[in-house]
């Protein structure tokens, strides 16, 4: 069993983040549980890469001295699976906001869908969603968006090394993507819809890998907490 000293010296915890939880909530829940289990007043705990509340999957959480290594894990490539829905868009590019536009889809073929993935493999320019945590002028972009304020967003270069549509079910496309730090899968969904002369938004997202760490080896927050010593 992991000791108090182990957590202070530094642990890398693989957590499967539940749907609707923020990454911050997951970190807080684990920090509180570790402090309670060992009667520790203070311990550093942080995550190596945010997952949106509507996404599930792998969070790499570091404790103690390992928090100094967070930037290394943040820079590693990531793998995602999920679902795009064709024919409609939302302001947030996912289901955080309501559908604002609908588009024709009758012209889209399965062959065209698979062929279009090739446009997004390699180094590409991508605009982050306005509903994101990126800071501009000291404020998060989503703060501007929720206040209805227009804000100029600059594109950034990201790299997608693998991108495939694994299943087509009417307007729902299952996908798998491997990408660099800073890639927004919501933006990929939005841009993919545009490339098909239609629209699309992200309806489901799961992070399956960060570097060598996989979600198969991750614990739910509840399972991790159950493994701690009880008072």
SS3 80: strand
User: Which 3 state secondary structure label does DSSP give 217?
Assistant: helix
Using the predicted structure, report yes or no on whether residue 107 has a pLDDT greater than 70. Answer: yes
**Residue 1's pLDDT is what?**
73
pTM, two decimals, is 0.92
Whether 52 is catalytic is yes
State percent of the chain over pLDDT 90. 82
Task: Note the pLDDT tens digit of each residue in 31-86.
Answer: 999 999 999 999 999 999 999 899 999 999 999 999 999 999 999 999 999 999 99
From the list 171, 158, 177, 42, the residue with the least C-alpha distance to 102 is 171
**Size (the chain), residues:** 231
Per-residue pLDDT band for 142 (boundaries 50, 70, 90) equals low
Q: What pLDDT was estimated at residue 152? A: 74
Options 3.30.750.200, 3.30.470.10, 3.30.2350.10, 3.40.640.10; CATH of 78-210: 3.30.2350.10
CATH of 4-75+212-226, one of 3.90.226.10, 3.40.50.2300, 3.30.2350.10, 1.10.3720.10: 3.30.2350.10
Residue 229 and residue 145 in contact, taking contact as beta carbons nearer than 8 Å: no
Give the tens place of pLDDT for each residue, 5-26.
999 999 999 999 999 999 999 9
**Which pLDDT band, with edges at 50, 70 and 90, does 130 fall under?**
confident
Residue pair 115/105 in contact by the 8 Å Cβ criterion: no
Looking at the chain, the domain(s) classified CATH 3.30.2350.10 span 4-75+212-226, 78-210
Task: Find the catalytic residue in 6, 16, 52, 191.
Answer: 52
% the chain with pLDDT above 70: 91
């Amino acid at each position: 069993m992991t000791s108090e000293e182990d957590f202070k010296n530094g642990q890398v915890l693989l957590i499967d983040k539940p749907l609707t939880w923020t990454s911050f909530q997951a970190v807080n829940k684990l920090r509180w549980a570790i402090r309670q289990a060992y009667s520790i007043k203070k311990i550093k705990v942080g995550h190596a890469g945010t997952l949106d509340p509507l996404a599930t999957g792998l969070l790499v959480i570091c404790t103690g001295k390992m928090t100094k290594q967070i930037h290394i894990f943040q820079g590693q490539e990531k793998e995602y699976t999920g679902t795009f829905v064709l024919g409609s868009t939302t302001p947030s590019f996912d289901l955080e906001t309501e559908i604002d536009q609908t588009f024709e889809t009758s012209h889209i073929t399965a062959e065209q869908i698979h062929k279009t993935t090739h446009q997004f493999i390699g180094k590409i320019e991508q605009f982050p969603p306005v509903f994101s945590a990126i800071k501009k002028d000291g404020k998060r972009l989503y703060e501007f968006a929720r206040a209805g304020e227009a804000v100029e967003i600059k594109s950034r270069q990201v790299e997608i090394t693998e991108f495939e549509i694994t299943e087509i079910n009417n307007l729902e496309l299952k996908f798998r993507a491997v990408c660099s730090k800073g890639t927004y899968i919501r933006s990929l969904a939005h841009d993919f819809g545009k490339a098909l002369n239609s629209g699309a938004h992200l309806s489901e997202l799961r992070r399956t890998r960060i570097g060598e760490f996989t979600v198969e080896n991750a614990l739910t927050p509840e399972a991790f907490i159950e493994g701690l010593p009880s008072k």
